[in-house]
A and B are shown apart, each in its own frame.
Chain A
C-alpha cells in the first residue's frame, strides 16, 4: 500500500473522523477473508476455483483426448508408459464479496443525541468500556467501519468487493471494486454514507419492517456467487429468514452481522416513558419497572436466538456485535475468532 492510499484510507478529507485508524489497517492487511467453499469466478484471482483452470496448483491427470492442448501433455509419463496423459490444474479465481449495509433510521439512531434533544431530564447511561474513548453508539457508523475493515481485507486479498446500502430498497450501490488500489473508493463511498447517515433526519431513510423488501429483488440479489455480508440491526418484524434463504439461493455464503447498541441490549430506562419509535415516530407509553426490563431482555435474547438458529439452518454465519465494544476489538478479535477472517 502506497502512502497515498494510506492517506486516503485514514485521512479525514472532509474534516470527519476516519473510519479506520492506521494501526488497524496495518493489522487488517495481514488477514484475508475465509471462503468456506471453492469459488467459481470470472476473473482470475487468488482463490482456488471450483473449476479446473490454469493455475499452478495441480489437480489431476486424465487421458488425452483429441482437442486437448498438447502443451499440457505430461511427457514424462508418456515417455514411461507410452500413453498420453494431460495434467490438470485448479483454476484460481477471485472471491466476490457483496456487502449489504442497513442504513435505515434505526441504524443511525443515536441514543445520546435523541435524548439531548428530547425532554428527558434523566441521563441515559450507555454502557461504555472503562478507559475507552466514547463509543460510537451510532450503529450505522459502526457498521460502516466494520464494512470498511472487511472490504479492505477483501481488496487487499485481490477479491472483488461491492457494497449496497439499503433501507426499504437499495438506495445506493458501489459497483464491484478490485485490487488494493480501489480501497480509496471504497472508503470514500462508506464515509459518504456515514455523513449521509448523520443527516438522516432530513433524508428519507424510513425503514421497513420487512428486511426482504430491499434485498430480495432483482436489483438486490447479487448476480454472481460469492460472499454476502449483511450489516444490520435485525430490527425487522419479518423477512429475515427470507432474505437469508434468498441470498443462500443466489450462491452466497451469508454472513449476518447483527449489530445492536448497548442501549438496545441493556436498556437502562426508568420511570414512565413514552417510547418513540425512531423510524415510525409512533409513541408507546410504558411504565418501566424491573419486570418490564426483564421481559425486554428476554425478548432481545429470543430475537437473537431466532436469527442465529435460522442462520445455522441455512449454513450462514451469524455474528452478534455489540456496538459498545471498540471497533478494533470487533474487527480483529471478533471476526477472527468466528473464523470469518484469517
Chain B
C-alpha cells in the first residue's frame, strides 16, 4: 500500500475537529426531572471523564469520523503494490556475460568449487521465479552476448519461457549489455506506441558490465528494474598475464613471466604451477606474495622447450576460477629463418635481423637449394633476382613450398608483360594492411617501378604515383609479398620507416607457416590460413579453463563453418575458454595440420568486478535515482484509481449506515 499524496494527510486534522464540534455541541434537550439527587449518584462515575463520555455514546460521531477518515485516505490517493508487470509487456534482459560465472557464495574450502552455485544460476532462478509469479501479457527474453539474443518474443506460454531460461548458458565472449538494454527498450517502445511504453524492462545482472558507461549513457524510455544478483564481490585471484621468451641464462630453455592479480581484500601468497604440453605435473613452480588489490610479476626460468605452456594458480579459494589459468605458446617456435636470395642488400639483411629473423644470404649464382635448405628455411626473400636465375627445379620446388617475398628490379631481366615505369608524381596511397600499419611513406622517393599484370593472388597495398608498389596476398595459404620496385631505386631503406616495414613484412611472412593460432577471444571471429590441401577442419578441445568444464555441452561444442566454396577463412572461435587444437584434414581425412589456439574470455569482464554500480537511466525518471521510482509511478497511476473507487463505495456504505442511525436516533 502506498500513498501518492502524503500531504493530504493534513486533512486528517478534520477528524479531531469533528470530535471537538461534537463536544462543544449544545443540543441537549431540556428535560425536567423531579430531582437530581438520584441522577447525581448515578452519574458520579461518568462525570469524571465527561467529555469522552459524550463521544462514547455517539455512534453518529463515530460514523462521521469514519467517513472523514475515509475521505482523507481517498485524498491521499492510495495505491496497492501490485506485482510489477502484471500489466503490459515485460522484457527480461538476462546478463550472461563471463562475470556471471563467478560464485554466488564463497567457496567453502580451498578445493575445487565446481559444485557451488554461480551468479548465473542465481540469475536464472530469479528469472524463473519471476516468470512463474507473473504471467503477464507476454514476456520477452533477451540474453546478452556479442549481439543481444532474442530468446523469446512476447511469449505467453510459461512452460516455453521456463524451458528457454533453463537452456541459457553463460557466454565468454564479449557481452554487449548496452545493446541488449537498448534492444529491450526498442521492443517496449514499439509495443507502447504513442502512449509511451506500456511495459517494463527487468535487467537481471551482477552489475559488472564492461560497457557500463555506455549503458549509463543510454536514454531509456521504458521503466527499468535492475535485479541485482549478488555474488562474491572480492576474493578473486587471477593470472593476469603470462609471457614467454627465450631464457637468456640457459640457451634452449624458456623463461616465463607471470603477472598475478589479487582482487581480494587481504594479501595472499599465490602459488603458480607451469605445465608444459598438457603434462599432469608442473615443470616449474613459483609463488609470490601479492597485496590486496595489487598486481605482482614473477619470472620463472629454465622451462624445457614445449609447444604449449600453461600457468595455473594452485589451491586458491577463489570466487572465479576461469581466470586462474593462461596458455602461451613457445616463443622459440616463432623464430623464423629467411633465405635472403640477393646479390647483396645490407639494409634489408639488417632490417630483417632487427625484426628477429635469422637470415641466410644466398646468391643464386653460387647456391642451389638442397633438401635441408627446405627444412631450415621458413620463407624466402628474392631481392631483385630474375626468374631466369631461379629456373632450376630445386629453386622452383623451394619457392613453391615456401612463402615468398619478392622484390622486382627494373634493372634485372623482366618477365613477359612486365615493363618499367617512372611514376609521374610522388603521391602515396596506402591500403589498410598488416604490413602498412604505422607507416606513411611520406616523402619517400621511388624512381622506377615495374608494372606487372601477373598478380592475381593479392591486392596492391601501396601505390606510388598511381602505380602499384607493393602487393600482398596469399597463394595456397601462404603469404606472398611483392615489391614492384628495387629498394636500390628508392630512398626507402634510408628512411626510419624501413625497419618497421621490414619487421611487419617479416611478421606477415611468418604467418604463412603452420603457426599456432595464438590467443583468441571466445566467440570472436579469427582469420585462419589453412594449409594447402585442407578439405575439412575441426576444433578439438584440449583443456578447458578451470571450472568451466560444466558449461561444455553439445550446443557449445565449436563448429567449423564452411560454405560450398570450401572452408570459410573467417572462423568463430570456441565459446568456452580453454586450449583448443584446430585440426585440418585433407580430402582423405589425413591430418595435415594441427594448431593450438588459446581461447580466452573477455578480460574486461574480470576487471570490472568491483567497479562502480551499473546505472541505467530511465527516461521518465529524474536523474540517477532511477529506474525503480519511475517504475513505481507508472504502477501507481493504474492501481490507485481502483482503490479510490473502493473507498468511495465504503464511504457510501458508511453514509447509509449513518443515515440509518440518524433516523432511528439510536445511541450506542
Contacts and interface: CB of A to CB of B under 8 A. Distances in A.
Q: Decide if A and B are genuine partners.
A: yes
A103 to B, nearest CB: 13
B45 to A, nearest CB: 7
A289 B668 CA distance: 7
Given A118-B32, A274-B31, A289-B668, A209 B37 contact: yes
Interface string B631-668: 00000000000000000000000000000000001011
Given A289-B667, A292-B42, A292-B43, A277 B35 contact: yes
A264 B38 contact: yes
Interface in B51-82: 53-54, 57-58
Interface secondary structure of B, over-half rule: mixed
A128 B40 CA distance: 26
Contacts of B41: 299, 302-303
A274 B28 contact: yes
B667 A283 contact: no
Nearest to A109: B34
B373 interface: no
Contacts of A300: 38
Given A286-B39, A288-B667, A295-B46, A273 B57 contact: no
A303 B38 contact: yes
Contact of B46 (A121, A274, A292): A292
B641 to A, nearest CB: 41
Contact of B29 (A109, A271, A292, A299): A271
Interface string A272-315: 11111111101111111101100110111011000000000000
Contacts of B38: 235, 264, 296, 299-300, 303
A269 interface: yes
B36 interface: yes
A280 B37 contact: no
Contacts of B35: 106, 233, 235, 277-279
A283 B30 contact: yes
Contact of A275 (B39, B53, B58, B665): B39
Contacts of A124: 31
A181 interface: no
A236 B28 CA distance: 26
Contacts of A283: 28, 30
Given A120-B29, A286-B39, A287-B54, A261 B45 contact: no
Contacts of B54: 272, 287
B7 interface: no
B27 interface: yes
A119 interface: yes
A270 interface: yes
Interface string A167-208: 000000000000000000000000000000000000000000
B29 A295 contact: no
23 contacts: A119-B29, A120-B30, A120-B31, A235-B35, A237-B37, A261-B34, A270-B665, A273-B30, A274-B31, A276-B30, A276-B32, A279-B34, A280-B36, A282-B36, A286-B28, A286-B39, A287-B57, A291-B46, A295-B43, A299-B42, A300-B38, A303-B37, A303-B38
Given A120-B29, A120-B30, 17 more contacts: A109-B34, A114-B32, A119-B30, A120-B31, A124-B31, A139-B34, A270-B667, A274-B30, A276-B32, A279-B34, A280-B36, A284-B43, A287-B54, A287-B58, A289-B667, A299-B39, A303-B41
Interface of A: 106-107, 109, 111, 114-115, 118-122, 124, 139, 209, 233, 235-237, 261, 263-264, 267, 269-280, 282-289, 291-292, 295-296, 298-300, 302-303
User: Nearest 4 pairs between A and B by C-beta?
Assistant: A274-B28, A114-B32, A296-B42, A299-B41
